[in-house]
Amino acid sequence: SQQGEEDPQALSIQEGENATMNCSYKTSINNLQWYRQNSGRGLVHLILIRSNEREKHSGRLRVTLDTSKKSSSLLITASRAADTASYFCATGDSGYSTLTFGKGTMLLVSP
Amino acid sequence: NAGVMQNPRHLVRRRGQEARLRCSPMKGHSHVYWYRQLPEEGLKFMVYLQKENIIDESGMPKERFSAEFPKEGPSILRIQQVVRGDSAAYFCASSPREGSTNIQYFGAGTRLSVL
């Protein structure tokens, strides 16, 4: 079964608003990563948060991780039309190289 | 520094034919991962390879699918006797070393259509 499950499945907002996406997972993890996929393209890594970290920032991105609830959130502040894409969380197990992806949240940012 | 290169970008095959998908990892990367993505779905892990070795093929169907990463040349994902259900986007990713904290760098994918 899927390790990561994103919520919501789809999100539609206006430029300038903030977008929040959530990810839940089932088993213990070493780290959690967020990726973006533009339509018809490959995935691009956004940010990685380790299991011993609670929050991380990168530009307009803010990621939180709550290992007790097995959940993570990705916040995009001051969204732009160019942020329109699908966003996936992926979990990595300790000492293991493969990642397990969720089904993604499709974000639409309207001008 | 070229990224992960996949070819072809689009591949059309008739049922029963063979499909060969190629992936050249980023320069200096010796770890390759193949994923399959169905429409409206996330990526499903298929196989993880290092040069000349299959490390984890737990996501590969037992029949008709095989993968290799030879000492020289690209990694190849081979699907024999394709069926309509094989239609999907196949993505390759590479990383410089093992360990799940490594970022994976993805290619643009190969979209396989089986008629």
pLDDT in tens, B74-91: 999 999 999 999 999 999
Q: Does B103 touch chain A (CB under 8 A)?
A: yes
Q: How much is the pLDDT for A109?
A: 97
Select the residue of A33, A88, A92 nearest B42 (Cβ to Cβ). A88
Of A7, A100, A57, which Cα lies nearest the Cα of B35? A100
Q: Does B105 touch chain A (CB under 8 A)?
A: yes
Six-digit token string for B6: 């996949």
Give the Cα separation of B2 and A78 in Å (integer): 31
Q: How much is the pLDDT for A95?
A: 58
DSSP state of B26: P
Asked if residue A37 has pLDDT above 90, the reply is: yes
Asked if residue A93 has pLDDT above 80, the reply is: no
The CA distance from A78 to the nearest CA of chain B, in Å, is 26
Question: A6 or A105: whose pLDDT is higher?
Answer: A105
Percentage, residues of chain B above pLDDT 90: 76
pLDDT mean over A51-75: 96
On the CB side of B41, CA atoms within 13 Å amount to: 14
Which range, of A12-21, A79-88, A93-102, B61-70, averages the lowest pLDDT? A93-102
Q: How much is the pLDDT for B14?
A: 97
Give the Cα separation of B98 and A21 in Å (integer): 29
- The answer to whether the CB of A59 falls within 8 A of the CB of A74 is no
Asked if residue A30 has pLDDT above 50, the reply is: yes
Q: Which of A43, A48, A51, A91 to mutate to test the interface with B (most CBs of B within 10 A)?
A: A43
**Count of Cβ atoms closer than 10 Å to residue B97 Cβ:** 12
Give the Cα separation of B91 and B86 in Å (integer): 13
pLDDT mean over B21-41: 91
Of A43, A28, A55, A21, which Cα lies nearest the Cα of A101? A43
Give the Cα separation of A80 and B62 in Å (integer): 44
Closest residue on chain B to A106 (Cα): B40
Give the Cα separation of B91 and B42 in Å (integer): 11
Which band of pLDDT confidence, cut at 50, 70 and 90, is reported for residue B98? low
Asked if residue B20 has pLDDT above 90, the reply is: yes
Which band of pLDDT confidence, cut at 50, 70 and 90, is reported for residue A1? very low
Please give the backbone phi and psi of residue A67, each rounded to the nearest 5 degrees, phi first. Answer: -70, -25
pLDDT mean over B95-115: 85
Q: How much is the pLDDT for A96?
A: 58
Q: How much is the pLDDT for A39?
A: 87
